[in-house]
Chain A
């Protein structure tokens, strides 16, 4: 029964209550993730783009059940991960891993590289300590930390930014996960090492030959373009557009996506001059009191009366989903 689905997210919501004064009226919420659904097939790649505060990271944490949702479900191999108990979830953990935004902060500062990796392997495998040692060496080699012996005894603060991210990646792939979420994998890194890390992630993906599913979160469309077949665009917790990355970049449908795409810098000044940039007015609204109707309407150049009051549902255009009344 639909066993080829690797990951299915249905109507996922996460509302964070805002703490206010005792007499301050009704409880308000930050709708960090508001009714998001998508499917990633086995071996597929999905990019999630959006500006800061649009709920990208919250979505990733929900998909791995690092936080509990307000409502909705995530099916991993037809199992709703929110219905699993602690024990079952822990057994599923090795199959879904995440690479975090800040490699320095996501490594325990008091553990050596060796201990960080051994911890994962000890937890989920029954290898002997020699085998674990071998595995650690081959993992470090695989992520480009060679000679691996040199890095075993180092603490995270003794590594460079790129090396730290490589350690994080090796930890994430140590157990051959089937789902790998990379949350802004290069945004904390020097421009000079970004390319190498992206190449490493792509190599790992290609080596898995369709066994691994990637979700890449970024605010950088160029990065998404180089890594992901499909793209989900988020704005203030809602999904505005979902479809093939190349198509979205070529002909964006949603006004927000249009603005986003037109903001990508073009390295060639000649063609940059020819391009028409769509100016965006205003600033991102407050998350606590988002505009009613379509969240984007105060900044939208194509705004209609309807947009101010009604929330658009998803309309299908070709093989894409768009949340905009222009395509009703």
Chain B
């Protein structure tokens, strides 16, 4: 009996260690770990936003305009008397929603085009890849700017615009993976069994392409968040949605006398970006043994 209890407690104490052995290689990949912690913390903040803030977001005059940070207004208030802490927390929410949903759009378009080009080859591939190249040479940021300017500054349009400018990279990546995996013998074996194209694509090739695609997608989320913030900083944002970029835009007018208006949103944006970057970069290395440091 004692022996069993001893074994159990040993298992428990080693549980975290074991968990990370599963996530990271023998030499702990500290970048993946740090990135994961930061991203999880930020996600938790975004999810629990209503619980950890005590003013409604975007509501003006919850305090005196330009209040310096204090116990009631942790990050101070802005020119309209909005609580910056509240808006920063809700701003994270916006950033993550924009990042995830625009990349979801990009992944859907990119996968469709990449799969068609990489699996079926031929003229279709040439056609789709030239379209991809044409989209790729346009500067992402400017293209997004133009799309929002044309279709109107609302939240949905911003997400769609960022989605539209982010798919070419994913399409190229998926195509490249398909080109290499489709020539591997187990695909021929799958054909010999009589699997349909759809099944070969989704149950044989795609799962094997995931290790290279996932880190790239995480980095794309990062890029999408930066584009959103960039657009906000230029004043292209939905004024009805709290946005870190938009806050920075307002803050620059008062930089000399209200530093807190710029510092806290900027800091939070940096933390999000660094966290996602660490996670994505670390994963690239972790999932690709050739890049792994000895």
Contacts and interface: CB of A to CB of B under 8 A. Distances in A.
Contact of A100 (B188, B196, B203): B188
Nearest to A115: B203
A119 B204 CA distance: 11
Contact of A123 (B186, B189, B194): B194
A110 B207 contact: yes
Interface stretch (A21-29, A46-54, A91-99, A295-303): A91-99
Nearest to B184: A105
Contact of B185 (A64, A93, A106): A106
A89 B207 CA distance: 26
A90 to B, nearest CB: 4
B184 A93 contact: no
B208 interface: yes
Contacts of A97: 192-193
Interface string B180-213: 0000111011111111100000011001100000
Contact of B189 (A90, A94, A107): A107
A115 to B, nearest CB: 9
A123 B193 contact: yes
A66 B208 contact: no
A109 B208 contact: yes
Interface string A55-77: 00000010010100000000000
Contacts of A107: 186, 189
B191 A66 contact: yes
A94 B185 contact: no
B186 A106 contact: yes
Interface string A9-49: 00000000000000000000000000000000000000000
Contacts of B194: 89-91, 93-94, 123-124
Contact of A101 (B184, B185, B193, B204): B185
Contacts of A100: 185, 188-189
A171 interface: yes
A53 B76 CA distance: 76
A108 B190 contact: yes
A119 B193 contact: yes
Nearest to A103: B185
Contacts of A96: 192
Contacts of B208: 108-110
A96 B192 CA distance: 8
A302 to B, nearest CB: 39
A61 B192 CA distance: 9
Interface residues of B, number: 16
B192 A98 contact: yes
Contacts of B190: 108
Contact of B188 (A106, A119, A124): A106
A276 to B, nearest CB: 40
A15 B196 CA distance: 26
Quick one: which of B188, B204, B207, B208 has the most chain A CB within 10 A? B188
Contacts of B195: 119, 123
Nearest to A124: B194
B186 A108 contact: yes
Contacts of B189: 98, 100, 106-107, 168, 171
Contacts of B203: 119
B206 to A, nearest CB: 10
A200 interface: no
Contacts of A168: 189
B123 to A, nearest CB: 16
A93 B193 contact: yes
Nearest to B194: A93
Contact of B186 (A64, A89, A105): A105
A107 B204 CA distance: 10
A42 B158 CA distance: 66
A90 B204 CA distance: 17
Interface in A234-287: none
A152 interface: no
Quick one: which of B189, B190, B208 has the most chain A CB within 10 A? B189
A66 B192 contact: yes
A190 B129 CA distance: 44
Contacts of A105: 184-186
B180 to A, nearest CB: 13
Contacts of B188: 61, 66, 100, 106
A168 B190 CA distance: 12
A93 B192 contact: yes
Contacts of A101: 185
A59 B194 CA distance: 19
Contacts of A119: 193, 195, 203
27 contacts: A66-B188, A66-B191, A66-B192, A89-B194, A90-B194, A90-B196, A91-B194, A93-B192, A94-B193, A94-B194, A96-B192, A98-B189, A98-B192, A100-B185, A100-B188, A105-B184, A106-B186, A106-B188, A106-B189, A107-B186, A108-B186, A108-B204, A109-B208, A110-B208, A119-B195, A123-B195, A171-B193
Given A98-B189, A106-B186, A171-B189, 13 more contacts: A90-B196, A93-B193, A100-B185, A100-B188, A100-B189, A101-B185, A105-B186, A106-B188, A108-B208, A109-B208, A119-B195, A123-B193, A168-B189
Interface of A: 61, 64, 66, 89-91, 93-94, 96-98, 100-102, 105-110, 119-120, 123-124, 168, 171
Interface of B: 184-186, 188-196, 203-204, 207-208
